[in-house]
Amino acid sequence: MPLPLSPKQVRFFQDEGYLIVPEVFPPSDLEPLRRALHAEINRLARNFQSEGKLGELHEQLGFDRQLAAIQRDSTECGEAIVREIIGLRGGGFYSPEMFDLILHPALLAMIGSLVGAEEIVASPYRIRPKLPNFGRGIVPWHQDSGYLSGHCDENLIITCWVPFVDASAGNGCMQILPRTHRGKVAPHHTGGNADFLVIKDEDLPADPRGAITAACPRGGAVFMTNRTPHCSTPNDSNHIRWSVDLRYKAAEVPNNVGVEPASLDAAGNADPAFYEQVNVACYPPEADFVVRSRQHPERVVDYAEYVRLRDVYARTRPAFAEVRHWPPLAALR
């Protein structure tokens, strides 16, 4: 029986805005996903090889190093594979093994301690292959709410960051500003490193203790709130810092469960007031889906439905994608 978080861990999360649990599941539970990702990298690399764009596949280097070697040989192929894996707006890598991780009973037991054990909705995730010395992997200071619609600022959305390798300062784990998650969402700007959003230093919520380094071993997870400022630093190691950031929330938090994107009125969606009136998802471009429901167990998605939802959102590219506008960094310089 998977264990929920202890009351002490829950209190720590509530006070600090984050929690690192070094042992959520045995590290071997990640092997099927690591193998599936490795197979996908080989598939994409072989395609480039057959097009004459890539010489060596570097398969023998294994999951932790292969993509970095491909990137060294061909920036074009390396970056294309990274983009394909991360994806945006419904794209990105997915597989039964990825789905199994999202529904991992040990993770859901802990998420249940933070958002309520009965009803849990999962939101879009990002897999991040942070290559060694790869500038685009450095994520500037932000709160995840910066990426979400403003009507969800006061809601709790859990980021559950799961490394596929031991993550440390050396390979570019996250930095987190503790005890700063209760205020308003800080102003963000577009045009940060690699086009990520960024909070300028002077706008970062202050905490006398400064940032913590969120090192986390494989098999563990870092839990954060959507208003917890965090960033991630360069990978100075010789291997890839693989991770995924999963997102979960209670069923009461705005979501698009059961909403087929084509059913929303595009004209209405152009009006910001629209978002005040209806239960629009916190991140409308991608599908939310039920992963636990005591009241309506039939609503818990299976893999086929999960794939269908991802696909329909990716194809529809809803007109209501842009719900929050931040000023560009450059304009303020």
User: Does 125 interact with ligand AKG (rule: CB under 6 A)?
Assistant: no
Q: Which is nearer to ligand AKG, 48 or 141 (CB)?
A: 141
Minimum distance from residue 136 beta carbon to ligand AKG (Å): 11
Identify which of 205, 245, 200, 201 has the alpha carbon closest to the alpha carbon of residue 228. Answer: 205
Quick one: which of 245, 254, 288, 291 contacts ligand AKG (CB under 6 A)? 245
Half-sphere exposure of 33 (CA within 13 A, CB side): 26
Q: What part of residues 185-244 is at the interface with ligand AKG (CB under 6 A)?
A: 230, 232, 243
Tokens of 331: 């304009």
Quick one: which of 71, 113, 155, 159 contacts ligand AKG (CB under 6 A)? 159
Q: Which is nearer to ligand AKG, 114 or 139 (CB)?
A: 139
Quick one: which of 34, 104, 128, 188 contacts ligand AKG (CB under 6 A)? 128
User: Does 145 interact with ligand AKG (rule: CB under 6 A)?
Assistant: no
CA separation (Å) from 55 to 39, 52, 81? 18, 7, 15
Q: What part of residues 167-186 is at the interface with ligand AKG (CB under 6 A)?
A: 174
Minimum distance from residue 142 beta carbon to ligand AKG (Å): 7
Rounded to whole angstroms, the Cα distance separating 193 from 303 reads 35
- Strand order of the β-sheet with 119-130 is 18-21, 221-224, 157-163, 241-250, 119-130, 289-293
User: Does 166 interact with ligand AKG (rule: CB under 6 A)?
Assistant: no
Q: How many residues sit close enough to ligand AKG to count as binding (CB under 6 A)?
A: 11
Q: Which is nearer to ligand AKG, 237 or 269 (CB)?
A: 237
Q: Which is nearer to ligand AKG, 127 or 290 (CB)?
A: 127
Identify which of 253, 33, 237, 58 has the alpha carbon closest to the alpha carbon of residue 144. Answer: 253
Q: What is the DSSP string of 244-310?
A: EEEEEEETTS---TT--GGGS-HHHHTSTTHHHHS---SSTTS--EEEEESS-GGGS--HHHHHHHH
Footprint on this chain of ligand AKG (rule: CB under 6 A): 128, 130, 139, 144, 159, 161, 174, 230, 232, 243, 245
